[in-house]
Amino acid sequence: MKVLAVHADLIVLISRVWQTTCTAVRAGDEGFVIDSPLYPDELEALASVLEQARFPVSGLLATHADWDHVLGRLAFPDASLGCGESTARRLAAEPGKPQRELRAFDDEHYVDDRRPLGLAAVQSLPVPGRLSMGAENREIELHPADGHTADGTAFFIPWLGTLVCGDYLSPVEIPTMSPEGGSPHAYLATLERLRELVARADTIVPGHGRPLDRAQANRILDEDVAYLEALRASGLKAQLPTGRRTGAQRRIHAENVARLQGIISQ
């Protein structure tokens, strides 16, 4: 796992699986951990890194309900987990699903001795909305970010000029329409909302891949818009973004095509 000290009050950790990111943000005597790494040793290291850096953990946040983003409780079992209203509804409608998917991942990758994942008592947060932090009442902005899935929240941290956007603007992964309610129309709408936030940000943390500066994020955003428009127009013939034309991304592209065809036929 890579650990990047982006700012004195912002640490980004990148898992060795899918380059999944986890962001720790601090404001005075309060701190939040957004999303999570995957492997047990990474989750153990997350707690150790934050303790050594004297980062308080007042609570956990999740950008969306996909299992690989909600593992923070395995590192901080007593911490509250907050998420946008749409994510809280999805977790309530699918009790036990993240645990089942985590168990399937562990079986495939020979991971053992992992504690069960508990996601009870999730705190639903209004989106759009604001979350206060620290004695100085710093506020994290919550913005809707659906399209990859039916749920999603982007967190903008204005005093650090940082956008944590979930599974969007990835330098390593093409736009992915999940069977969990993914939609190219909603994805494009989210990209346009993110465009305004990127213009205010110095650092953009995607759900998968290294943090980006504003210019990099804008380039990826434009590439993703072009890809989604081509996907709707040309299906399987749509060209993948430069630098994201690996075998794994071509498989995701084929899944996107199948997902789009399913939406059209409904």
Residue 266: what pLDDT? 52
The amino acid at 199 = A
In the chain the first and final C-alpha atoms are separated, in Å, by 42
Residue 180: what pLDDT? 84
- 252's CB contacts (< 8 A; 6+ apart) are 173, 174, 176
249 SS3 class:
helix
User: Distance (Å, rounded) from C-alpha 51 to C-alpha 14?
Assistant: 18
User: Distance (Å, rounded) from C-alpha 142 to C-alpha 226?
Assistant: 26
> 35 and 21 in contact (C-beta within 8 Å)?
yes
Among 121, 127, 139, smallest CA distance to 84 is for: 127
Domain coordinates in residue numbering, the chain:
2-265
Residue 46: what pLDDT? 96
User: Distance (Å, rounded) from C-alpha 43 to C-alpha 100?
Assistant: 18
User: Distance (Å, rounded) from C-alpha 6 to C-alpha 210?
Assistant: 11
The CATH number of domain 2-265 is 2.60.40.1220: no
Name all contacts of 252-260 with Cβ < 8 Å and 24+ positions apart: 252/173, 252/174, 252/176, 253/174, 255/176, 255/177, 256/174, 256/175, 256/176, 256/177, 256/184, 256/231, 257/231, 259/177, 259/178, 259/179, 259/182, 260/177, 260/184, 260/231, 260/232, 260/235
Residue 136: what pLDDT? 76
The angle formed by the CA atoms of residues 189, 215 and 152, to the nearest 5 degrees, is 30
> 91 and 119 in contact (C-beta within 8 Å)?
yes
Q: What is the chain's pLDDT, residue by residue, as a tens digit (266 residues)?
A: 999 999 999 999 999 999 999 999 999 889 999 999 999 999 999 999 999 999 999 999 999 999 999 999 999 999 999 999 999 999 999 889 999 999 999 999 999 888 889 888 899 999 999 999 876 779 999 999 999 999 999 999 999 999 999 999 999 999 999 988 899 999 999 999 999 999 999 999 999 999 999 999 999 999 999 999 999 999 999 999 999 999 999 999 999 999 888 765 55
Residue 264: what pLDDT? 59
148 SS3 class:
coil
Among 236, 139, 154, 216, smallest CA distance to 187 is for: 154
User: Can you name the residues that pair with 24 across neighbouring β-strands?
Assistant: 11, 33
